[in-house]
């Protein structure tokens, strides 16, 4: 069997891409592959939750630090030395800068095979939206100057790949716009959430799973819940996940006097997550242009409809009026929340059944079959 080396920046604040990587690794292990994951950091909780996988942590700063980028070439020399210990492995990089690690290494190791799992072309390089979000004006100016240089380097290095697959048709389109060529394939990311029996006897809460960052729009969900909270006094909002915006979001909840009804759950186990999906009345996904959005699939697997923004990956996963709703305007979100809450039992049961049928189209076994074909042919 082939040996696969996963490259990932770090697992300090793991989100969808991190979970996708470890689930791919676990599924390949079950198929008899040898896998290892190289990164620059992993938090204890994540490591414990994935103790069946082999992690190697490089002794360098993680990519979220200034010192990493300031001394990038110095750290890359250390990375090259570490990667040279895996001559018979296929490199399987994920998000920036782990793709750069592999690409730069291949410049001096021409026979190295690289399969890039492109969740999306890095927004850090190919989108200027993130620059506008930088609060420090000097850092914003610096980022604006560096951005076109990084883009030229990224497009040049990307040619080192042997195979590229994207995690949705939306991401594939984004890849084509960024690199001016088509990806080799689309392979949906794996979900490893076990299903919990779901019924119409749901608990009165709205659920979301998200990294708590600015671009995930959890503040919009909180504000939308506030608009319907008086009309549905028995309902609460449960938010699973963590991130740099948690404190600001907690302050928002306190400001609108909903601390007793909006609950931040932090990081939770996959088993607990499955139960929360199954018992929720509805799951929401509020980020715009989400590359894929595993949340929608995991929710539907557990028989819970989804409300998501009408963009990106959810356009491929959520069927309008059948497995949930897609909103375009922010003001429409509370209206759809109310619509699901007040839906009669017959309509809701039908939506539950349709959700589970749709989720089967994204079964992990289909993705692994496609992935194995790639590894066995490059």
What pLDDT, on a 0 to 100 scale, did the predictor assign at position 42?
Answer: 95
Residues 176 and 270 in one domain: no
Q: How far apart are CA 4 and CA 28, in angstroms?
A: 9
Reported as half-sphere exposure (CB side, CA atoms, 13 A), residue 247 has a value of 1
What is the count of structural domains for the chain? 2
Buried residues in 285-296 as b, exposed as e (16+ CB within 10 A): bbbbbbbbbbbb
What pLDDT, on a 0 to 100 scale, did the predictor assign at position 65?
Answer: 86
140 occurs within a structural domain: yes
Angle between helices 16-30 and 364-377 (to 10 degrees): 70
Q: How far apart are CA 221 and CA 145, in angstroms?
A: 34
Tokens 């409809």 found at:
305
DSSP string, 230-281: TT-TT-EEEEEB--TTHHHHHHHHHHTT-TTTEEEEES--HHHHHHHHHH-S
196 occurs within a structural domain: no
Q: How far apart are CA 304 and CA 281, in angstroms?
A: 7
Residues 182 and 236 in one domain: no
Q: How far is CA 138 from CA 68, 127, 144, 190, in A?
A: 19, 19, 10, 40
Instruction: Write 340-347 long-range contacts (CB < 8 A, 24+).
Output: 340/281, 340/282, 340/305, 340/307, 341/228, 341/232, 341/235, 341/281, 341/282, 345/200
Q: How far apart are CA 101 and CA 112, in angstroms?
A: 12
Residues 315 and 373 in one domain: no
Residues 277 and 167 in one domain: no
Residues 182 and 279 in one domain: no
Residues 173 and 92 in one domain: yes
pTM (2 decimals)?
0.88
Q: How far apart are CA 100 and CA 11, in angstroms?
A: 17
Residues 30 and 170 in one domain: yes
Q: How far apart are CA 29 and CA 213, in angstroms?
A: 32
What pLDDT, on a 0 to 100 scale, did the predictor assign at position 332?
Answer: 97
232 occurs within a structural domain: yes
What pLDDT tens digit does each residue of the chain (378 aa) get? 689 999 999 999 888 889 899 999 999 999 999 999 999 999 998 999 899 999 999 999 998 888 998 999 999 999 999 999 999 999 999 999 999 999 999 999 999 999 999 998 987 788 777 777 677 787 778 778 888 899 999 999 999 999 999 999 999 999 999 999 999 999 999 876 666 666 557 899 999 999 998 889 999 999 999 999 999 999 999 999 998 999 999 999 999 999 999 999 998 888 899 999 999 999 999 999 999 999 999 999 999 999 999 999 999 999 999 999 999 999 999 999 999 999 999 999 999 999 999 999 998 899 999 999 999 998
198 occurs within a structural domain: no
Residues 89 and 160 in one domain: yes
Residue count of the chain: 378
Residues 316 and 247 in one domain: yes
What pLDDT, on a 0 to 100 scale, did the predictor assign at position 126?
Answer: 84
The closest alpha carbon to 178, from 233, 123, 239, 216, belongs to 123
Residues 214 and 169 in one domain: no
The range of the structural domain enclosing residue 329 comes to 205-360
Q: How far apart are CA 196 and CA 352, in angstroms?
A: 13
Residue 279 belongs to domain with CATH number? 3.40.50.2000
């Amino acid at each position: 069997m082939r040996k696969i080396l996963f490259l990932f920046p770090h697992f300090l604040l793991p989100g969808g891409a991190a979970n996708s990587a470890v689930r791919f690794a676990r599924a390949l292990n079950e198929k008899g592959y040898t896998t290892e994951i190289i990164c620059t950091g992993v938090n204890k909780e994540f490591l414990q939750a994935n103790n069946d996988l082999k992690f190697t942590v490089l002794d360098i700063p993680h990519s979220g630090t200034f010192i990493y980028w300031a001394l990038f070439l110095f750290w890359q020399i250390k990375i090259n030395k570490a990667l040279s210990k895996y001559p018979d492995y296929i490199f399987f990089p994920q998000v920036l800068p782990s793709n750069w690690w592999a690409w730069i290494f291949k410049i001096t190791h021409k026979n190295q095979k690289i399969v890039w799992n492109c969740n999306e072309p890095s927004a850090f390089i190919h989108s200027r939206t993130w620059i506008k979000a930088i609060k420090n004006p000097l850092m914003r100016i610096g980022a604006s100057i560096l951005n076109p240089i990084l883009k030229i380097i990224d497009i040049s290095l990307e040619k080192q790949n042997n195979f590229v697959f994207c995690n949705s048709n939306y991401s594939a389109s984004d890849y084509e716009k960024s690199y001016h060529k088509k990806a080799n394939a689309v392979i949906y990311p794996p979900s490893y959430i076990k299903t919990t029996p779901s019924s119409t006897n749901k608990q009165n809460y709205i659920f979301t799973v998200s990294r708590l960052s600015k671009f995930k729009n959890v503040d919009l969900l909180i504000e939308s819940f506030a608009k319907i909270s008086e009309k549905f006094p028995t309902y609460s909002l449960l938010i699973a996940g963590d991130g740099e915006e948690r404190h600001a979001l907690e302050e928002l909840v306190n400001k609108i006097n909903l601390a007793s009804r909006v609950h931040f759950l932090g990081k939770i186990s996959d088993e607990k997550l499955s139960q929360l999906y199954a018992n929720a009345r509805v799951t929401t996904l509020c980020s715009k242009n989400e590359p894929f959005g595993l949340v929608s699939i995991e929710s539907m697997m557990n028989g819970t409809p989804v409300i998501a923004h009408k963009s990106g990956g959810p356009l491929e996963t959520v069927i309008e009026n059948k497995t949930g709703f897609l909103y375009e305007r922010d003001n429409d979100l509370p209206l759809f929340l109310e619509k699901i809450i007040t839906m009669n039992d017959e309509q809701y049961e039908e939506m539950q059944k349709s959700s589970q049928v749709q989720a089967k189209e994204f079964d992990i076994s289909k993705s692994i079959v496609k992935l194995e074909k790639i590894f066995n042919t490059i």
